[in-house]
A and B are shown apart, each in its own frame.
Chain A
Amino acid sequence: MVDLNSLAGAFTLLTSSYQAWIWLIPGLMIGLFFGAMPGISITMAMAIFLPMTLYMDFLPAIIFLTAIYTAAGFGGSVPAVLMNIPGTTSAVATTFDGYPMARSGRHNEALGTALAASVFGTLVSYTLLMFLIAPVSRVVLRLGPLELFAVAVWGMMLIGSLASKSMLRGLLAGTFGVLLGTVGFSSAGHIRGTMGVQWLFDGVPVIPAMMGLLAASQLLGLINTKYLIEDEASRQISFRKIIDGMRGSFRQPFIIGRGAVIGVLVGAIPGVGSSISNLLSYAETKRNAPDSDTFGTGNPKGVIAAESANSSSEGGAMATMLALGIPGGGATAILLAAFAINNIVGGPSFIANQMDVVYAIIFANFAQAILLLIVGLGFVYIAGYVVRVPLRFLIPSVLVVATFGSFAIEGTAAGPITLVVFSVLGWAMVRYQYPVAATVVGLLLGRMLENELARTFQIGRQSIQGIFDYALTRPGALAIFGLMVLSIAASAYAKHRRRKLGRTILAGDE
């Protein structure tokens, strides 16, 4: 599984020149800064700095770009925790418990927890990558539409776990999101629901919609509040508490391990990646946790699950990119561009002939993760001061930053318009206790659900019976559905046991 000669070659590559290392910390700082800015995606940050790599050797260039990639992945969680703004789609699940933690004065712990889970997740994912790069890439090539549909359905199951107060409202919020997520051109070439608006042909812009639903809606509702954290004593920025949060993460190795495995596997699927893996990991952790009722109200396990999965998706995406030469998303496409600048083509021949370079990239990522722990610690300490800013300054400032961020995505009015529409909708939904996060999940997965279902339908001779016949030939998809059913049954059984135990204890007390 591990080629020892290539391992030795990787060490030689990394230790023979200081060039490979000097770009590491600048890359991490750039990634943290850009990742934490709403609307500036990881892809955009990497694209801005890609031209700089023209003047670097191949390995330093890749290490610099992957440092931005790793740090921006975590950077997105900082506004997610402090302001309920997921800096990237991969930080959506971080908001579910991170923001309630911050609102209740546990912002230090939340940031520390997110940082440690991110770092630990990255380390686990690259360790897995070292051993599994070849088998994972073989599996990815075998995935069909039904398997992708199964993954999307699995993600949709999160809606059930988000709708803790009213299942009906949760389902409506999620279904509404799915419908909005399918607006525009369908994979069959039909244009629906655009009302003649041209920019809706590509669908509802997801990131501005997400920022509107999750962040701007909350900010509008906070106008009658003075500070993000009402209690003055809880607004302290404490290094010790950040460290406590990090320790808390390390006490949950199983949640991090599960998040990392989900992250690597889902991250390896082109086009799916970290935006789904964090949701899946959150849903699975919530389903299996004994204290599942406290998820969504500030349970650090939710932050750990989300962050470990989204950071480890990077490892999965790198596996697909290195082994197959397929970019799973924008960030890996830019890495491939950096490969091309140096006349190197990713794919099976790259893995076969330059395994030492692959291992060198993996080792450099280990170093990045460890350095991120230190650089990130300083970053979250400074970022934590947001809770001390009075809301009368914070609300208009963040609304403006969100608007600029939504404009920055495409450079048109589509972003700001989407942002305000979804802010108002989100405010009304929050007011009447609809889980807006379910709408966000629906928006993210709607198009994928429809596309993969349509492809399955076409492969299945355009009949429902055909879909079932096709499903029988896809053991991978059946296995995913089977795992889903097993996981639901196991959590239902565990709940039943807990209830029974609770009744027994009550009876004993009487």
Chain B
Amino acid sequence: MESKPGRIVVMWGHLALLAVITVVVVYYWMDTRAVSMQTVNLLLVQPASIFALLLVLCILPQCFRRVSEGEEIEKESLSELGRVFALMAVFITFALSMQYVGFDVATFAFMVIGLFLCGERNWFLNIGFSAVFTSLLIWGYGAIIPFPFPLTIL
């Protein structure tokens, strides 16, 4: 048997995404079966889950890429990726905390940190823009939407 030259690179991120999809699909399929084994309950979910898992199996080999000697894989730097993850973390914290710390405080804090992470280094501009934007947004949405939202300062 002829062996191909080069090394195999594992795309860990893609592998993690497939793992998440697999876990969600398997959980949902099993939960659906646990609720009821009636055909009407499984009519769409069961075949769709099996199909999805088969697709995962077919895509799985794509997570392992053979790279020939000297070939460079194009990817962003660690600092670029770090900024994405940092913004993601701040965004998640903002969405989960807004009901507890108040929409005004959460929005202002997210805007200040978000602007900084996105590259705004002028603190006067950063804080000024964040304060004005937060006030306008709270006032605007407050006037339009029929639901009350918790506020701490405004």
Residues of chain A touching chain B, judged by Cβ–Cβ distance below 8 Å, are 34, 37, 40, 44, 47-48, 168-169, 171-172, 175-176, 178-180, 182-183, 186, 188, 190-193, 216, 220-221, 223-224, 226, 391-393, 395-397, 399-401, 403-404, 407-408, 410-411, 413, 416-417, 419-420, 423-425, 427-429, 431-432, 434, 446, 449-450, 453-454, 457-458, 462
Known pairs A175-B52, A432-B17; A403 contacts B149 (CB<8 A): no
A504 to B22, CA, bound (A): 46
Say whether B32 contacts A403, CB under 8 Å: no
Say whether A424 contacts B95, CB under 8 Å: no
Sampled A-B contacts (24; CB under 8 Å): A48-B144, A179-B52, A190-B35, A192-B31, A220-B87, A223-B84, A223-B87, A224-B76, A392-B115, A392-B120, A393-B115, A395-B118, A396-B110, A399-B91, A404-B137, A407-B98, A416-B95, A420-B92, A427-B84, A449-B44, A454-B40, A457-B43, A458-B40, A462-B40
Pick from B16, B49, B110, B119 the residue with the most CB of A within 10 Å.
Answer: B119
- B152 CB within 8 Å of chain A: no
- B21 CB within 8 Å of chain A: yes
Q: Does more than half of chain A's interface fall in helix, strand or loop, or is it mixed?
A: helix
Known pairs A220-B84, A417-B95, A454-B40; A40 contacts B144 (CB<8 A): yes
The contact of A172 among B59, B83, B110, by CB within 8 Å, is B59
| Beta-carbon nearest neighbor of B55 in chain A | A172
The contact of A407 among B38, B56, B117, B149, by CB within 8 Å, is B149
The contact of A413 among B13, B45, B51, B99, by CB within 8 Å, is B99
Say whether A397 contacts B28, CB under 8 Å: no
The contact of B137 among A172, A182, A226, A400, by CB within 8 Å, is A400
Question: Chain B contact residues (Cβ within 8 angstroms of A): what range?
Answer: 35 or more
Given contacts A192-B32, A192-B41, 4 further A-B pairs with CB under 8 A are A44-B145, A392-B115, A401-B137, A416-B95
- B133 CB within 8 Å of chain A: yes
Say whether A411 contacts B147, CB under 8 Å: yes
A431 to chain B, nearest CB (A): 7
A137 to B65, CA, bound (A): 56
- B105 CB within 8 Å of chain A: no
A76 to chain B, nearest CB (A): 16
A179 to B121, CA, bound (A): 44
| Beta-carbon nearest neighbor of A400 in chain B | B107
A171 to B91, CA, bound (A): 29
B75 to chain A, nearest CB (A): 10
| Beta-carbon nearest neighbor of B11 in chain A | A432
B95 contacts across to A, CB distance below 8 A: 403, 416-417, 419-420
The contact of B28 among A47, A191, A192, A449, by CB within 8 Å, is A192
A195 to B20, CA, bound (A): 16
In B51-68, which residues have CB < 8 Å from any A CB? 51-52, 55-56, 58-59
A454 to B36, CA, bound (A): 14
A403 contacts across to B, CB distance below 8 A: 94-95, 98
Say whether B56 contacts A172, CB under 8 Å: yes
A220 to chain B, nearest CB (A): 6
Pick from A404, A453, A462 the residue with the most CB of B within 10 Å.
Answer: A404
Known pairs A191-B35, A399-B114, A408-B144; A175 contacts B84 (CB<8 A): no
A437 to B148, CA, bound (A): 32
B19 to chain A, nearest CB (A): 11
B24 contacts across to A, CB distance below 8 A: 176, 179-180
| Beta-carbon nearest neighbor of B52 in chain A | A175
A226 to B119, CA, bound (A): 9
- B96 CB within 8 Å of chain A: yes
- B131 CB within 8 Å of chain A: no
Known pairs A223-B118, A404-B141, A413-B99; A175 contacts B28 (CB<8 A): no
B59 contacts across to A, CB distance below 8 A: 168-169, 172
A432 to B15, CA, bound (A): 10
Say whether B36 contacts A432, CB under 8 Å: no
A429 contacts across to B, CB distance below 8 A: 17
A48 to B137, CA, bound (A): 18
- B123 CB within 8 Å of chain A: no
The contact of B44 among A400, A411, A450, by CB within 8 Å, is A450
Residues of chain B touching chain A, judged by Cβ–Cβ distance below 8 Å, are 11, 13-14, 16-17, 20-21, 24-25, 27-28, 31-32, 35-36, 38-41, 43-45, 48-49, 51-52, 55-56, 58-59, 76, 80, 83-84, 87-88, 91-92, 94-96, 98-99, 103, 107, 110-111, 114-115, 117-120, 129, 133, 137, 141, 144-149
A407 contacts across to B, CB distance below 8 A: 98, 145, 147, 149
B88 contacts across to A, CB distance below 8 A: 220, 423-424, 427
A428 to B17, CA, bound (A): 7
Say whether B87 contacts A408, CB under 8 Å: no
Say whether A171 contacts B45, CB under 8 Å: no
A397 to B129, CA, bound (A): 10
A60 to B133, CA, bound (A): 37
B41 contacts across to A, CB distance below 8 A: 186, 188, 190, 192
The contact of B51 among A175, A180, A192, A404, by CB within 8 Å, is A175
Say whether B35 contacts A179, CB under 8 Å: no
Say whether B40 contacts A457, CB under 8 Å: yes
A220 contacts across to B, CB distance below 8 A: 84, 87-88, 91
Say whether B49 contacts A179, CB under 8 Å: yes
A394 to chain B, nearest CB (A): 9
B32 to chain A, nearest CB (A): 5
Top-9 shortest CB links A-B = A411-B147, A396-B114, A392-B118, A416-B95, A172-B55, A408-B145, A450-B44, A193-B28, A392-B119
| Beta-carbon nearest neighbor of B141 in chain A | A404
A193 contacts across to B, CB distance below 8 A: 27-28, 31-32
| Beta-carbon nearest neighbor of A425 in chain B | B20
A400 contacts across to B, CB distance below 8 A: 94, 107, 110-111, 114, 133, 137
B137 contacts across to A, CB distance below 8 A: 400-401, 404
